[in-house]
Amino acid sequence: MSAPSKSSPNTSPPSATSLSTSSLTASSDGFLLRGEPFRIISGAMHYFRVHPDQWADRLRKARLMGLNTVETYVPWNLHQPEPGSLALDGILDLPRYLRLARAEGLHVLLRPGPYICAEWDGGGLPSWLTADTGIRLRTSDPRFTDALDRYLDLLLPPLLPQLAANGGPVIAVQVENEYGAYGDDRAYLEHLAEAFRTRGVGELLFTCDQADPEHLAAGSLPGVLSTGTFGSRIPESLERLRAHRPEGPLMCAEFWIGWFDHWGEPHHVRDAADAAADLDRLLSAGASVNIYMFHGGTNFGFTNGANHDHAYEPIVTSYDYDAALTESGDPGPKYHAFREVIARHAPVPEEPAPAAGPKLPPQVVELVDRAPLLPHVSVLAEPVRVDADPVTMEELGRRAGYALYRTTLPVSGDGVLRFAGGVGDRAQVFVDGAPVGVLERERHEEALPVRVPRTGATLDVLVENMGGVNYGSRIGAPKGLLGPVTFDGIALHGWDCHPLALDTVDPVPFAPVADSSPEAGPVFHRGTFEVGAPADTFLSLPGWTKGQAWINGFHLGRYWNRGPQRTLYVPAPVLRPGTNELVLLELQATTEPRAHLTDTPDLGPVKP
């Protein structure tokens, strides 16, 4: 999404004197901000899930709801796509986001990881790191801490001016993230806390863990504030937190007011009155709170994560989360309910609550140009020749996106293709360009019966990375073809492997459609539409099956008729007055060559 920033930091680390005057401190029963009692009323809003031209609008709406603070994670994998690099521009311009928060009068809780979970690809850990299976992630293994230290050496200097001690909005910084659910390496947590301190972070440090005695014990550090994460059972959760730390502020660092969605399951919602009642219980107990999420946003591009407990479950493109602000930034039922609750406990601006933003009038987009992927794959990515068995996407130097594997079949006739180790995560198989089947990691599929029409027929396997696991021990699980491939026991060697980043679709050789009849995928489709005044809209694709969408080169993300999500959010800043371009990569087939722009989102049927 961004190119590495080569700019040098424009500030020196704060002096020891300035560090000692950190603005937020913990008293025996609460917080003090510059010596005065202060309660944190915060909401989560991840800058990397919101178009940067909309940051100011969302921050204003946070203040109008009654929040005095916002919280954000920091995704290591986006900020450092390659070792030694640092991306801090566009949607990753964290210093700008922090400056806008300060301008709006909001404080900031900064959660730089290194692991963030967040239903984010790989939990925020970079693939160049997790691809090394010898590294013990999130431990005091020097291979992990050395990589982390080199990253913090680059990340923290540009952020130091945004610390409260230097006049900025950041009043507290998190050490790791729900570490007690993962490990108990105290030396690692101590290393991380010291890494922040020695690089100039003098603000209050905190940890957060699920309100479970074992998790709190394993994830806490002496001298670092312990906070909890929970969405219900407020008295019980606060009691457990107080039992863990008899003195100090009580804080719910993630008050879960909704939930995320996997493909193939209903959309999750939580009743606004129920969530508001629990928020009132938290504030009535004198606790501080960070609402997760105040504004969820979108997993643009290939950034969604996945869970893998009993089965692999990828996250949808939308991160609406049934939050106080909808995915498109409109106040939802929780916004108004929470504003009323907060007003009972703290000042709320006298300005009226914001209204919903404008939407584009609905229209139909005709997709009149096409380009099939298989014959043009070399235009998008030069092949990497592998003489023996196919290699993973990581070994091809590509984590996100797709990989196309191509070889020839040595015999003809009916037989079984076997993929030792399976696929990561979804593979479409073609023989001489004709689709013969699909294999999915979540279904543990490793074999496919096929008919080979001739000796020397071309075998193509298009593998899609559906999102890196973001929680648990499977973070960094490889993508692509995960082992040897055989046809009726004959090993298939000599592969041309095309890593398809799809960072841009500019090279796609589109041509006008001569025949308007449907064409089996994978096929790129293109059309244009006119816009008067840009406004938010939603892309609806009835009759389409599965693929990716771009508008004016901006990668909206993944669509899939498996649901629950039925529309993709199109931020107004992506559009321009006049002619706009829509590109779809349809992987399978469509029944009609048109798309729809609608003024109403559809995130699918609600979970009962």
Q: CA-CA distance, 585 to 579, in Å (whole number)?
A: 20
Which residues neighbour 94 within 8 Å (Cβ) at sequence distance 6 or greater?
47, 72, 74, 79, 88, 158, 159
Q: How far is CA 311 from the centre of its chain?
A: 20
Residue of 405, 407, 391 lying closest to 452 (CA atoms): 407
Which pair of structure tokens corresponds to residue 6?
A: 């080569």
Which residue out of 104, 119, 178, 464 is catalytically annotated?
Answer: 178
The SS3 assignment for 136 reads coil
Pick the catalytic residue from 71, 176, 254, 586.
254
Partners of residue 367 on adjacent β-strands: 527
Task: List Cβ neighbours of 248 (8 Å cut-off, separation of 6 or more).
Answer: 26, 27, 28, 29, 225, 226
Active site (annotated) includes residue 265: no
User: Concatenated DSSP letters for 57-72?
Assistant: HHHHHHHHHT-SEEEE
Residue 571 belongs to what H/E stretch?
A: none
CA 17/CA 14 separation, integer angstroms:
8
User: 575 CB contacts (<8 Å, ≥6 apart)?
Assistant: 360, 531, 534, 535, 537, 551, 552
Q: Is 440 a catalytic residue?
A: no
- Report the DSSP beta bridge partners of residue 135: none
Cβ contacts of 503 within 8 Å, gap of 6 or more = none
- Vertex 141: Cα angle to 138 and 144 (nearest 5): 60
Instruction: Give the C-alpha distances (Å, rounded to integers) separating 276 from 222, 234, 279, 486, 570.
Output: 33, 12, 5, 57, 29
Cβ(192)–Cβ(129) below 8 Å:
no
- Rounded CA gap, 65 and 412, in Å? 67
Contact criterion met (CB below 8 Å) for 84 and 150: yes
- 439-458 b/e with 16+ CB inside 10 Å = b? bbbbeebbebebebeeeebe
Side-chain half-sphere of 99: how many Cα atoms within 13 Å? Answer: 8
d(Cα 61, Cα 393) in Å, to the nearest integer?
41
Q: Which long-range contacts (CB under 8 A, 24 or more apart) does 333-336 make?
A: 333/272, 334/257, 334/272, 334/275, 334/276, 335/61, 335/65, 336/272
8 A C-beta contact, residue 502 and residue 380: yes
Range 529-560 burial, b when 16+ CB lie within 10 A, else e:
bebeebbbbbbbbeebbbbbbbbeebbbbbbb
Residue type, 282: L
Query: At 487, which helix (H) or strand (E)?
Result: strand 485-487
Question: Annotated active-site positions, please?
Answer: 178, 254
